[in-house]
Amino acid sequence: MAEPGTIDRPSYGMVGGGPGAFIGDVHRKAIALDGSARLLAGCFSRHHEGTLETGRSLGLDPQRLYRTFEEMAAAEAARDDGIDFVVIVTPNASHHPAAKAFLSRGIHVVCDKPLTLEISEAEELAALARRNDLLFCTTYTYTGYPAVKHARAMVAAGELGEIRFVNAEYAQEWLATPLERDGKHKQAAWRGDPAQTGIVNAVGDIGTHVENLVRTVTGLRIGYLSARLDTLVPGRRLDDNATVLVDYEGGARGVYWVSQVAIGRDNALRLRVFGSKGSLEWSQEDPDHLQVSMLGRPSERLSRGRDPFHPGAQRHSRIPAGHPEGYFEAFANVYRAFTAALRKKLAGKALAGEDLDFPGIEDGISGVRFIHRCVESSSRGSARVSF
């Protein structure tokens, strides 16, 4: 088998991503696009038949298809040619035990968001990764877009001046009806079930993307927040809409809105950042462009690949301006950065800050904290709570 970058690329295993799952295949394709890593092992399903079926279709060695993630962690850690890292793409409730199993065995981890159900669980993983000197990536995909990197670079360079206000939102239509009730829609079913998804639905699934996107682009840290979680479809068990007033450390303010009942919206994650000198706006559904407005000037529409796109953002691109890159490429960028750091680490080299250009465990912890603070505030009449 020969793929771009083959020779020294790391190997990985996957937990989750079996038959009927959505996101696991996306991770695999995103890794394959750049040939960032080789898939060698898996525990794709809670049902071993599912794991075998997926493993077969992927051409994996049956010896490396496991019944449980614990078994997989133990067996792979014991092999000379064991996997370098694991990708965890199960429902939220299993993230913590799975990640812990691999970290404990010295295997690097990539884990889906939201990272864990409890803040303490996320902090435990962080401590474990640190102790065992392991890399940890939380797949906040949307920060992989080159335009998001450019936005971050603009803010960091002070091009927008002092940041004053952030307006971020993430609107979807898909839960505008009680889709989770008929049981046929696998994702709606587990996301609507507190046992699998945790204390929130929309705030965890898409709210944490908003929180992470703002955190990444602006570098701002939340000081206080006031949240109102809504259940707008009658009979639903968890939130499907939420609005959060955010006070950042340092005086900037923000508002976040997330909704899964917003008819007409596919996956409308949008960010607007206003500073004292200028502003920027980005929409995930048109990811290659970025609107930038400087005080008193006409708005500009930046294209990935066209000046003045920041070189540090541009290197996350593969093709010229006007040839759209999308969600897979954003995902692939996360893996390209993670595996580059991993190769360096495996080669025994020291990692610098710029090597860690992927969402890490601190991002994961912040997301879990965001969930808990929103629930706390909302349950107290949208009281202003400390972050």
Q: Which of residues 104-163 bind a copy of itself (CB under 8 A)?
A: none
Chain centroid to CA 60: how far?
A: 27
DSSP track, 135-162: -EEE--GGGGSHHHHHHHHHHHTTTT-S
Q: What is the pattern of x (binds a copy of itself, CB under 8 A) and - over residues 42-71?
A: ---------------xxxxx----------
Cα distances from 184 to residues 26, 179, 187, 188, in angstroms, run 21, 8, 9, 8
Residue among 41 and 368 whose Cβ is closer to a copy of itself: 41
Residue of 120, 276, 379, 386 interacting with a copy of itself (CB under 8 A): 276
Fill in the per-residue mask, 163 to 202: x = in contact with a copy of itself (CB under 8 A), - = not in contact. Answer: -xx-x-x--xxx-xx-------------------------
**Closer to a copy of itself by Cβ: residue 305 or 312:** 305
Contact pick of 16, 18, 275, 367 for a copy of itself (by CB under 8 A)? 275
212, 173 Cβ separation under 8 angstroms = no
Identify the H or E element spanning 40: strand 38-43
305 is a contact residue toward a copy of itself (CB under 8 A): yes
- Residue from 90, 94, 216, 243 binding a copy of itself (CB under 8 A): 243
Please tell me whether residue 300 binds a copy of itself under the rule CB under 8 A.
yes
The residue (of 95 and 336) whose beta carbon lies closer to a copy of itself is 336
Distance CA 116, CA 365 (A): 8
Options 116-124, 316-324, 336-344, 348-356: segment touching a copy of itself (CB under 8 A): 316-324
Instruction: Report the distance separating Cα 331 and Cα 47, nearest Å.
Output: 27
For residue 267, the 8-state DSSP code is: S
Choice from 188, 302, 342, 361 touching a copy of itself (CB under 8 A): 302
Which of residues 173 and 193 has its CB atom nearest to a copy of itself in the complex?
Answer: 173
Contacting range for a copy of itself; rule: CB under 8 A; set: 36-44, 87-95, 122-130, 215-223: 36-44
Closer of 263 and 351 to a copy of itself (Cβ) = 263
Residue 301 contacts by C-beta under 8 Å, 6 or more apart in sequence? 289, 290, 291, 292
Q: Across-strand partners of 96? A: none
Contact 291, 283 (CB under 8 A): no
Selected range binding a copy of itself among 111-119, 229-237, 336-344, 350-358, rule: CB under 8 A: 229-237
307 binds a copy of itself (CB under 8 A): yes
Query: Which whole-number Å values give the CA distances from 249 to 142, 174, 184, 368, 384, in the listed order?
Result: 24, 34, 44, 19, 14
